[in-house]
C-alpha cells in the first residue's frame, strides 16, 4: 500500500475534461439489468481453482472510467482461467477523483455523494461498480474487495485532549454512516495505540465497541454492506501489520468469504504465525523475495530458500508483482512459470497480463496451472542456472515437471518422473520433444535459453 499526492493546479479542468470523455464512452456501453448480488456464491468458481487477477495498478487512469475498463475484460479473463478479480479500494477517499482509495474517508460512498472534490471516485460511479460486480458474477468470477481499515483520512480538525493537540479525527461523511471522532482513534480514553500507525494518518481503534459495530457487527456494517448489498465475495486486507490478527479474523467470522492479508514481511516464520493467528491467507512475500534474488540475481539456488507455500500452501497467495512492488524486471515470465506450476494460490498483475508480457504465454501458464499442477511438490534439480521440480499429481490432475533455464543456451537433463513407459510432451510448445519415459520412470527433458518447459502425460 502507498499513498500518492494529487494536488494539481489544473484539477477543475482535468475533472471537466474527464467527465466529457466519460460521457462519450458511456454512450457506447449498452445498459444491462443488474442481477441480485445475493445468493450468487454457489454459481461462482471456487477460489483457488484458478488464478487471481489483480485488476488494477498504481495510478490507473483517472476520470471515472476504470470500472468500465475492467467490466469489459471479465469475460475474457474468466475464459482464460481466472477465478477472482481483486479490485482497488472502492469507497470515497480524501483525494477524491485522484485517489487510489488507500486514504479512506467514507466507506459507504461508492461514487454517489459530492464530497472530497468529486461525486465519482477515481474509478467511476456506484452504478458502474455494481454493473462490474454483476457482470463478473455472470461470468462466474469472484470479486475481492480491498479493505483499508488501519487508518482514515480527510477528517476535520477537533481538539483532542488525548493527543494534546488538534487532530483531523472528526468524520461526518455524507452517507450518514460510521461517523467518527477522537474517541474512535488512537490515542483515546482507553487505548493509547495498537500494532502500528501508517503515515501519520488517524489510526482506528479496533478495540472500541463502536468501531467494531460499524466495521463488522451491525447489520449494515461495512463488512455486511459490502457483502450483502454490494455483492463482494472476498477480502484483501491492507497493511495488516497495523492491527492485531484478531481484527480481520473477526471480520471474516462475521461475513465469511475468502480472505488474504498484506503482511509485508519476507520472514516466513512471521508470515506463518500471522496466517495461523488470523486464520486466513497471506501474500507470500517470502516467495517473492526469493524469486527476486533468483531471477534478478541470476542465481536460481535462491529458489531453495524458505517460502510460505512450502510451509502452508493452502494459506499462501503467490505473486510476481503488484501495485506496490515490481522488482522482478528481468526474466519475469520465468517467475510466472514458477508460481503457476507450484503450490499456493497464484495472483497475476494487471499490467503484466494486459500490457507487458505475452498474453498467449500467460494464458498457457494459467491453463497449465488449472489443468496439470496438482499434488505435492518435489525438487528434482537446482543450481545457478537450472531449476527442475515435479508436481506429483492429484485431485484429477496428472501432475507435471517444470524445467526453468536461466542460462544463455539450451539445457538437457535426466529426471525421474512418476510415469513408467509413458509418452510425455512439453505443454508450453517451447520444445518439440515427445519422449517416452523408461520403465524405471526416468526421461531426458530440455529447456530453451532464458526459458522454460512444462512436461506432462500426452
Tell me the binding residues for Ca(2+). Answer: 150, 213, 385
The annotation places the binding site at 150, 213, 385
Q: What is the phi-psi region of residue 344: left when phi exceeds 0, alpha when psi lies from -120 to 50, beta otherwise? A: left
Joined together, the cell numbers standing for residue 270 give: 512471521
| Ranges assigned E (strand) in 203-290 | 234-237, 258-261, 281-283
Do the bridges between strand 281-283 and strand 258-261 make them parallel or antiparallel, or are there none, so unpaired? parallel
Residue 308, φ and ψ in degrees, nearest 5: -65, -40
Active site residue 238: yes
Contact 345, 316 (CB under 8 A): yes
| Ranges assigned E (strand) in 407-450 | 411-416, 424-426, 442-447
Distances (CA, A) of 55 to 84, 135, 144, 296, 445: 9, 14, 10, 25, 36
Helices (H) and strands (E) in the chain, counts: 13, 19
* Cα(171)–Cα(156) distance, integer angstroms: 6
* Cα(316)–Cα(342) distance, integer angstroms: 11
Distances (CA, A) of 111 to 120, 143, 222, 238, 400: 4, 18, 16, 21, 46
Catalytic residue from among 83, 238, 343, 352: 238
Joined together, the cell numbers standing for residue 113 give: 455523494
Residue 145, φ and ψ in degrees, nearest 5: -90, 140
Contact 63, 250 (CB under 8 A): no
Active site residue 24: no
Number of other CB atoms surrounding residue 192 within 10 Å: 9
Catalytic residue from among 106, 262, 352, 354: 262
Joined together, the cell numbers standing for residue 7 give: 494536488
Calculate the CA 320 to chain-centre distance: 11
Number of other CB atoms surrounding residue 140 within 10 Å: 16
Contact 113, 172 (CB under 8 A): no
Q: Which residues are catalytic?
A: 238, 262
Amino acid at each position: 500500500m502507498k499513498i500518492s499526492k494529487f494536488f494539481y493546479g489544473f484539477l477543475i479542468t482535468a475533472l471537466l475534461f474527464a467527465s466529457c470523455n466519460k460521457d462519450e464512452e458511456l454512450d457506447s456501453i449498452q445498459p444491462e439489468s443488474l442481477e441480485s448480488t445475493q445468493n450468487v456464491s454457489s454459481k461462482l468458481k471456487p477460489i483457488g481453482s484458478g488464478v487471481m487477477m489483480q485488476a488494477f495498478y498504481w495510478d490507473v487512469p483517472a476520470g471515472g472510467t476504470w470500472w468500465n475498463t475492467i467490466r469489459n475484460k471479465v469475460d475474457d479473463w474468466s475464459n482464460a482461467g481466472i477465478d477472482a478479480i481483486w479490485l482497488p479500494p472502492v469507497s470515497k477517499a480524501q483525494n477524491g477523483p485522484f485517489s487510489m482509495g488507500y486514504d479512506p474517508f467514507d466507506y459507504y460512498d461508492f461514487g454517489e455523494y459530492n464530497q472530497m472534490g468529486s461525486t465519482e471516485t477515481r474509478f467511476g460511479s456506484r452504478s458502474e461498480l455494481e454493473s462490474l460486480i454483476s457482470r463478473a458474477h455472470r461470468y462466474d468470477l469472484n470479486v475481492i474487495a480491498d479493505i483499508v481499515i488501519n487508518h482514515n483520512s480527510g477528517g476535520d480538525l477537533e481538539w483532542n485532549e488525548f493527543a494534546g493537540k488538534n487532530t483531523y479525527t472528526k468524520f461526518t461523511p455524507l452517507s450518514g454512516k460510521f461517523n467518527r471522532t477522537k474517541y474512535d482513534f488512537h490515542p483515546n480514553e482507553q487505548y493509547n495505540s495498537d500494532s502500528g500507525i501508517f503515515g501519520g494518518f488517524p489510526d482506528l481503534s479496533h478495540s472500541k465497541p463502536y468501531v467494531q459495530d460499524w466495521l463488522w457487527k451491525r447489520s449494515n456494517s461495512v463488512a455486511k454492506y459490502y457483502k450483502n448489498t454490494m455483492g463482494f465475495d472476498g477480502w484483501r486486507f491492507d497493511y495488516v501489520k497495523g492491527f492485531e490478527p484478531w481484527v480481520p479474523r473477526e471480520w471474516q467470522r462475521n461475513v465469511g468469504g475468502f480472505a488474504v492479508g498484506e503482511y509485508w514481511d519476507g520472514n516466513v516464520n512471521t508470515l506463518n504465525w500471522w496466517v495461523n493467528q488470523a486464520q486466513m491467507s497471506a501474500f507470500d512475500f517470502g516467495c517473492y523475495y526469493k524469486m527476486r534474488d533468483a531471477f534478478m540475481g541470476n542465481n536460481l539456488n535462491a529458489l531453495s530458500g524458505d517460502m510460505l507455500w512450502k510451509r502452508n500452501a493452502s494459506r499462501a497467495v503467490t505473486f510476481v508483482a503488484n501495485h506496490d512492488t515490481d522488482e522482478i524486471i528481468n526474466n519475469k515470465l520465468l517467475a510466472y512459470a514458477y508460481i503457476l506450476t507450484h503450490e499456493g494460490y497464484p495472483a497475476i498483475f494487471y499490467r503484466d497480463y494486459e500490457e507487458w508480457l505475452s498474453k498467449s504465454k500467460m494464458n498457457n501458464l494459467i491453463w497449465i496451472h488449472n489443468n496439470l499442477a496438482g499434488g505435492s511438490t518435489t525438487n528434482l534439480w537446482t543450481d545457478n542456472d537450472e531449476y527442475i521440480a515435479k508436481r506429483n499429481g492429484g485431485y484429477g490432475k496428472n501432475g507435471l515437471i517444470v524445467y526453468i533455464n536461466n542460462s544463455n543456451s539450451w539445457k538437457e537433463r535426466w529426471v525421474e518422473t512418476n510415469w513408467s513407459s509413458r509418452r510425455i510432451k512439453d505443454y508450453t510448445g517451447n520444445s518439440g520433444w515427445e519422449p517416452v519415459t523408461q520403465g524405471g520412470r526416468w526421461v531426458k527433458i530440455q529447456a530453451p535459453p532464458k526459458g522454460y518447459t512444462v512436461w506432462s502425460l500426452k
